A and B are shown apart, each in its own frame.
Chain A
Amino acid sequence: MLVRNNTNNVRIQSVEAPATGGMEPAEQHKMLVEDLDFFYGEVQVLFDISLLIRLNRVTALIGPSGCGKSTFLRTLNRMNETIPGTRMSGKVLLDGHNIYEDFDDPSSIRTRVGMVFQQSNPFPKSIFDNVAYGLCVNGIKDKRLIRDVVEWSLQQAALWDEVRGKLDNSAFTLSGGQQQRLCIARALAIRPEVILMDEPASALDPVSTAKIEDLIGELRKQYTIVIVTHNMQQAARVSDYTAFFYEGKLIEAGQTKQIFTRPQMKKTEDYVTGRFG
């Protein structure tokens, strides 16, 4: 993993997995962010961020509240464009294509880079329609196919056994944890390559949280996942790589094990050991 150190633009710090670490060598990357600056109006909240996101790995974004984790996450699927008055510069590459330049239609990127939100936000529709929504707006008309994909997605999200037979019920009849898994199923249904998760379990009880974490463990076999979390243990449990943000800057990134056991920056160490934030 590569990080361009913000304090010194010339020095490029390599935190590539050490050969002795027993990790798979030369892992492929899925997304690459280069020199990203981001502004809400005149206020800059992200400063010169560069980060590699590994294919079929879980990357965790950590950092104190307000440091720009969500903002960064939302630049990866152009969600920030929906907020008026925002501005950004830099590159975000998906499989080598700049998602801000090589695609005419921002909505097509979001079918490849899916997103799950902090607060579960099912539509006021049936469970089935929630999962089928993404297919419908993307022009899939084949009823059989839709049904297959809905079932498959619910299975992937480990929700199928709980909702089969009541697919026509309103999504609001589900519990909080189930609603969040429904939102994950909904995101999976359009077969994204990358899934962005913004504190997906922070509003849930421990049991539901454990389910979501298990789910992430399953999903990482097939998907590239970027997850924002406040919970250090969670980051340690679910992620392969971790990036530490502080006041809009990317301080350090690398393998999760290394970040938590041998952080190279003082700030990172303070944060992961709970000395602030």
Chain B
Amino acid sequence: MNLKIPALEFVQEVKNGNISAEDFVAKTLERIQSVDDKLHAFLSVNEKAIDQARVIDKKVKSGDKVGACFGMPISIKDNICIKDSKTTCASKMLENFVAPYDATVITKLKEEDAIFVGKVNLDEFAMGLTTEFSAFGPSKNPWNTEYVPGGSSGGSAVSVSAFECVASLGSDTGGSVRNPASFCSTVGYKPTYGLISRYGLISYANSIEQIGPLTRTVKDAAFILNIISGLDPNDNTTVDNKNEDYLSEIDSGIEGKKIGIIKEMIGDGIDPAVLSATKDAISKLESLGAICEEVSLDMVKYSVAAYYTITATEAGSNLARYDNLRYGYDFPVEGYEFNSYISKARENFGPEVIRRMIIGGFVPSAGHAGKYFLKAMKVKSKLTREINEAFKKFDLLIAPTVPIMPFKIGEKIDDPVSLFLVDINTVTANLTGKPAISVPFAISNGLPIGIQLLADSMQDKLLLQAAYALEQTVTLPEVPI
């Protein structure tokens, strides 16, 4: 059984009766058993996965209608609700929280007969870039287990890259899908804001985050997008994509397309290996007929500061509900007045979450909003204006997903400021609502490098076409685990 096949190939094989979903899912669970001790991608595994696969095989055999996923085993970041299963956000605060409902993306995937093999690790409440801030321990990079897998959707990237599932759903607030995708050599895609419903995604910074797929191939990302995108009455911020088919015409190529190289994202501090991979990608795109030219987005230099100000503000509010009064962990209320109970209960948050909530209490407060929060909002709107200007001239923008190479676990954990700079190339897409994708492009000294493409709002189809073209220009070695 080849667990390394992409999603679309898996679907074809089950459809044709060459493999059974049950076998594949069983082998996948075995794989998780054998490698996850080392990698720690999973926080929980679905005990019923094999039974569910059996039901699908039956449907295939009897010629009943089968959903588009044909029992494809996928992993779900543990901040997305699946009914009757634990959704912890990798936090002690929600250690025992069992979601009573399905996220919209889960409902849609269930309808198409996907199988959720398990919930995967993340930085607590998705706040981090390395998955080291999980309350249940870090995940490891399958390319070298001494290295971080990126974050916050580290478990998603690890599980896809180590063949513990065919695809995964993560969430991307400032690069949380693209960053680990780049570090683990998978495709990671954040769609236009509003393209995928956030209903059932536990909010961190709700005004800029999106759920996104992590997959082996660009085609797989388009396939999953077809299933989970579109208007949702449960999320007022979703946009109508008129049932766009992102998979059709994905091989249209990029001849004649104008691509802007974002100057501020290949500047100071960039790793030479990342820079040379980026140059290589540009020349490969040029050889396919694209016209590449440098473009400056002046506001990028303030984007990380704005990003942390805005996300901390929203996080401070979004995480206020975790007072342990209605759900949470075991901690009796007797003998407490409510203010002291809430303070005590909230000590269960991890240090990074507490750090951000303290910032979030400060930057929008009455005496300081003008200096911090409102200024950050100004940067956000200026950056949006700049990028909109750029998209008048260019069809796409390009930059490395992360300007530095993956680093060792523990190497930067005590250095939040330098860690924050890892965000510099990814937060722009979130602050402006634009779609962006990370495509695996190179391996340097045994560690992956991803290249990021951005497109204008609702140009996700064009973005996926370009990503597909770029993907076809390279053949990468297999993960060593």
- Whether chains A and B associate is no
- Measuring CB to CB, which residues of chain B are less than 8 angstroms from any residue of chain A? none
- Measuring CB to CB, which residues of chain A are less than 8 angstroms from any residue of chain B? none
